[in-house]
Amino acid sequence: MLHVLEHPLIQSKLTLLRDVNTKNEPFRRLLEELTALMVYEITRQYPLRDRAINTPLEPMTGRVLDASIVLVPILRAGTGMLGGVLHLVPMAKVGHIGLFRDPVTLKPVEYYCKLPPELPDAHIILVDPMLATGGSAISATDIIKHEGGKDIQFLCLVAAPEGIEAYASVHPNVPIYTAAVDRQLNEKGYILPGLGDAGDRIFGT
Ligand code: PRP
Ligand code: URA
């Protein structure tokens, strides 16, 4: 259930994003661009339905997305990916799950949750740039499933082997889409080589 998105545009933008010399403004822009490219890849199997329209020359039956889509960013860094998804699927509903990782225990602490009522029947895209220990993504997926969500795709940018293993062991039916699988976590739970603290780099904190 692990998919590494190898498209050259994705890989190239990820390298720019990781660079320590990339400041907040280009970091935010690259993150949105990368997310849009990844969403293009992960929505390939979404269903279509017919729609009758008129071109300037004659009537025809075109096809449009036939999917209720709910996007769930994990606060705060996940909100940096929101614009990139909404750019391609502006009709998506958006839920929010607020989690932060306790710096000592590395366990996620929940502080906010608001999810749309469409959740049970929707294609759900859970987004967070980083899958480190896996604690935050596991918790967010637990919450979504508890609220009735079934069809979930987890989209991140950089994943650690430790986080992939932990997530897959708890949620084996949820596919993980990432742009990179990095080497390991350091003693503080940061991904190596990674890109640093995603939230801090997005928001300049
Ligand atoms: C970061 C990141 C993930 C989490 C990943 O968030 O955005 O949510 O860490 O780590 P994990 O896989 O070990 O749980 P952080 O807790 O720093 O909060 P923030 O987004 O508010 O900066
Ligand atoms: N959260 C981040 O923002 N970066 C990491 O490397 C690990 C967790």
Q: Read off the CATH number of the domain in which 14 is found.
A: 3.40.50.2020
**Atom in ligand 2 nearest the alpha carbon of residue 198:** 3
- Give the total number of structural domains in the chain: 1
Q: Domain containing 127: what range?
A: 2-203
Average pLDDT over residues 41-70: 97
User: Any idea which of 68-77, 96-105, 151-160 has the lowest mean pLDDT?
Assistant: 96-105
Cα end-to-end distance, the chain, whole Å: 34
Question: Which pLDDT tens digit goes with each residue over 136-150?
Answer: 999 999 999 999 999
Q: Is 79 helix (H, G, I), strand (E, B) or coil?
A: helix
Average pLDDT over residues 154-176: 98
- Cα separation, 88 vs 77, in Å, equals 19
Question: pLDDT grade, residue 103 (50/70/90)?
Answer: confident
What is the model's pLDDT at position 69? 97
Q: Which of 111, 112, 126, 136 to mutate to test the pocket of ligand 1 (most atoms within 8 A of CB)?
A: 136
Q: Is the CB of 131 under 6 A from ligand 2?
A: no
Confidence (pLDDT) at 72: 98
**Sequence-ordered alpha helix ranges (H) in the chain:** 8-18, 24-42, 82-88, 135-146, 161-170, 198-203
pTM of the model: 0.96
Q: From the CA of 100, which ligand is nearest?
A: 1
Task: Name the residue at shortest CA distance from atom 4 of ligand 2.
Answer: 197
Quote the ligand 2 centre to 27 CA distance (angstroms).
Answer: 15
User: Does the C-beta of 141 come closer than 6 Å to ligand 1?
Assistant: no
Answer yes or no: are the C-beta atoms of 126 and 172 closer than 8 Å: no
Q: Model confidence at 173, in pLDDT bands (50, 70, 90)?
A: very high
Residue partners of 193: CB distance under 8 A and separation at least 6? 18, 182, 183
Which structure tokens are listed for 86? 């909404």
* pLDDT of 113 over the 90 cut: yes
What rounded mean pLDDT belongs to the chain? 96
Mean pLDDT of 94-105: 93
pLDDT beyond 90 at 101: no
